[in-house]
Amino acid sequence: MDVVTFGESMVVFNGDVTGPLRYIHNFAKSLGGAESNVATAIAKLNHTVGWFSKVSDDEFGKFVVNSIRAEGVDTSKVLVDKERTTGLLFKEHYQRSNPNVYYYRKNSAASSLSPEDIDEEYIKNAKILHLTGITPALSQSCREAVYKAIDIAKKNGVLVSFDPNIRLKLWTLEEAKEVLIDIANRADIVMPGLDEAELLLGLKDKDEVADYFLSKEAKIVAIKLGADGCYIKTREEGIVIPGYNVSDIIQDTAGAGDGFAAGFLSGYLENLSLKEIGEYANGVGAMATLVQGDMEGYPHYDQLMEFIGKKQGIER
């Protein structure tokens, strides 16, 4: 397996018109979850990837697993909880460009993930373990599961990839800083947004941010710069890779950061140059914003190559 990841995936309900949710009567149902987003995008780029979690024994739980498995992701280690429910997320398009998000995930099946649910064999046979800062925010047991997974990866020479993915609707900044900095300090690959790095470290300069993580265990740091692209730095070199001009964003940018992570990891697995890795990452992230939904816009390999100018498309 190239990549293994785990965390909560929710059923997303997106209102069909703008306005407060109390006036919305029709919703489109889709899938959302940072880790499954990354897994889906990696699978579309021709890499082997596994995702696991706990889901409820209900129709929403089946929807989550079926949707992820249908994209070519291995879900053989997903656990079923007969007592708990599936997490839900409602999006409200009102008063801002990105939607307001309402979580209904407290005490969900995925929030009960614990160290006992971590399969050591599954992780030790991967090349990369990808984690986000969302999973440790869900519960103490989830936090302990993340640390156990890191320990397994480190013991077995599996690279740890980490996207802080700060969610202040799940915990306070003080709680988040303590845990996320600690995890990032142990990761081999760190992928923060520049705004996240400022929240965590109080640093605004991209070189200072990268150098901080490189002074720990990181081998490579990718700093997301929004529309300006990204800055990738190792101990040997650093390079800014410009972003792609996307003028027709559909509704919101959800899934763009996860797409960036997937493109980055795919390029890294292919031993590409830092510039080419950044082009992959920026490309997948940009394409995520062109389609409504968190993961529906992720490209297959040929589509990505066409988007970033590496291949000529054929329309008819």
Q: Measure the CA–CA gap between 287 and 255, rounded to whole angstroms.
A: 10
Do 10 and 88 touch, CB atoms closer than 8 A?
yes
DSSP 8-state code for residue 226: G
What does residue 170 show for φ and ψ, rounded to 5 degrees?
-105, -25
Contacts of 292 (CB under 8 A, 6+ apart): 14, 28, 250, 251
Q: Which residues are catalytic?
A: 258
How large is the angle between the packed helices 34-44 and 256-269, nearest 10 degrees? 50
3-state secondary structure 86-128: CCEEEEECCCCCCCEEEEECCCECHHHCCHHHCCHHHHHCCCE
Do 135 and 166 touch, CB atoms closer than 8 A?
no
Q: Measure the CA–CA gap between 73 and 235, rounded to whole angstroms.
A: 33
Do 274 and 232 touch, CB atoms closer than 8 A?
yes
